[in-house]
Amino acid sequence: MKLQLALDLVKIPEAIKLVREVEEFIDIVEIGTPVVINEGLRAVKEMKDAFPNLTILADLKIMDAGAYEVMKASEAGADIVTVLGVTDDSTIKGAVEEAKKHGSKILVDMINVKDLAQRAQEVDALGVDYICVHTGYDLQAAGESPFEQLRTIKQVVKNAKTAVAGGIKLATLPEVVESQPDLVIVGGGITGQDDKKAVAYQMQKLVKQGLVNQG
Average pLDDT for 90-104: 98
- SS3 assignment for the chain: CEEEEEECCCCHHHHHHHHHHHHHHCCEEEECHHHHHHHCCHHHHHHHHHCCCCEEEEEEEECCCHHHHHHHHHHCCCCEEEEECCCCHHHHHHHHHHHHHHCCEEEEECCCCCCHHHHHHHHHCCCCCEEEEECCHHHHHCCCCCHHHHHHHHHHCCCCEEEEECCCCCCCHHHHHHCCCCEEEECHHHHCCCCHHHHHHHHHHHHHHHHHHHC
Q: What is the pLDDT of residues 15-59, one digit of tens each?
A: 999 999 999 999 999 999 999 999 999 999 999 999 999 999 999
Q: Domain 2-214 classified CATH 3.30.470.20?
A: no
Structural domain boundaries in the chain: 2-214
